[in-house]
Amino acid sequence: MKKTTTHNERSGSIERRQFIKAGTMLGLGSFLIPQSLFGRSPLAPEVAGDCLPTTDDILGPFYLAGAPNTTMVAAADEPGDRLFISGTVLSNDCSTPIPGALVEVWQANNSALYSTAPGLELRGSMTTDENGQYAFETIMPAPYLNGAQYRPRHIHYKVSRPGFPTLVTQLYFEGDEFIAADPWASQPDAAERIIPLNPIGGDQNEGVFDIVLDGFVGIKPNRYGDDGYMMPTYPNPSADLTSIHFNVFRNAQVKVVITNLDGRELVTLVDKQMSQGRFTTQWNGSDASANACAAGTYLATLIVAGKVILSQRVLRQ
Ligand SMILES: [Fe+2]
């Protein structure tokens, strides 16, 4: 049987009365998905990141070791709007990925409850791949009362890897009305952990949360050399916007182009002088003449200083 409880973030005490209030509030149908920050143009702006270690946040009372090793943090029938979170765990140069980092996440459900046993719903752990990437599918957590005020929607993280300090933190979402009064989310150093969400159709949203640990993995970035890297596109396949995340490791002229499988260029998403950093662009499935491309397989290619770094497949539905 599913065992759940509400909690006080500091003490962990069960507060039934507060849960009832939270349920009433949710029944009003207020939902806090912000509008997409990205335009629909294929020439969407790139967003640069700052190179500072990700800041910590409180552990809260509901961390449990031994969360299921899964990227399906929410079962398919878990009530709530689906949420897809992905990101890269990076060294403190903000470009060297950290493979083999254990990412543990836990969150409240759509009724402001945390599971405590035995199925450990809405808890998951995963290990970053060779490119430092992690991703999981879940549902949007509900805000819940903590003392006299609501905590904003949040997902707890614990990121650990031998040789690095363990990071305990929380992820928040832009547009959440409860951030301003929350003693933790309103901290200036939490700003980088308040991410935009991008609607991807239906009641689904995606967000990217890259994590910088305060240490260095001590190996060269990856087999693609010193110039850049491009993550797998997301979502893939896609019927709407496809997000393309890439790293540039040195100042250079950078291009991101979409081609068909024969190498014919359909549209240029990025073509500019760029400095080192992490960037995101998006493709809306149209060619340079704004005509929608047919369903099928395309390639997103990163070119740095005239050199093709790598391509990632983009499946259009
Ligand atoms: Fe919490």
Q: Say how many Å lie between the CA of residue 6 and the centre of ligand 1.
A: 9
Q: What is the pLDDT along the chain (317 residues), one digit of tens a residue?
A: 344 444 444 433 333 222 222 222 222 222 222 223 222 223 323 334 457 899 999 999 999 998 999 999 999 999 999 999 999 999 888 888 999 999 999 999 999 999 987 678 999 999 999 899 999 999 999 999 998 899 999 999 999 998 888 999 999 999 999 999 999 999 999 999 999 999 998 889 999 999 999 887 654 445 556 688 888 888 989 999 999 988 888 889 999 999 988 778 999 999 999 988 888 899 999 999 999 999 999 999 999 988 888 888 899 99
Residues with CB under 5 A from ligand 1 (ion): 60
The residue assigned the tokens 């878990």 is 78
DSSP state, 181?
Answer: T
Question: Distance (Å, rounded) from C-alpha 105 to C-alpha 240?
Answer: 28
The H or E element that residue 17 is part of is helix 16-27
Q: Residue 143's closest CA among 111, 175, 106? A: 111
Q: Say how many Å lie between the CA of residue 154 and the centre of ligand 1.
A: 7
- Would residue 114 show up in a list of annotated catalytic residues for this protein? yes
Q: Say how many Å lie between the CA of residue 310 and the centre of ligand 1.
A: 39
- Would residue 245 show up in a list of annotated catalytic residues for this protein? no
First to last CA, the chain: 39
Sequence ranges of the domains in the chain: 51-212, 228-316
What architecture is domain 51-212?
Sandwich (2.60)
Q: Residue 157's closest CA among 93, 89, 222, 110? A: 89
Q: Determine contact, residues 139/153, Cβ cutoff 8 Å.
A: no
Domain covering 228-316, topology: Immunoglobulin-like (2.60.40)
Q: Say how many Å lie between the CA of residue 106 and the centre of ligand 1.
A: 8
- Would residue 154 show up in a list of annotated catalytic residues for this protein? yes
Question: What one-letter code names the amino acid at 74?
Answer: A
- Would residue 298 show up in a list of annotated catalytic residues for this protein? no
- Would residue 193 show up in a list of annotated catalytic residues for this protein? no
Instruction: Tell me the two tokens of residue 60.
Output: 């809260």
Do the strands 114-117 and 133-139 form a parallel or antiparallel pair, or are they unpaired? unpaired
Predicted TM-score (pTM) of this structure: 0.57
Do you find a cis peptide bond into 235, omega within 30 degrees of 0?
yes
Q: Say how many Å lie between the CA of residue 294 and the centre of ligand 1.
A: 44
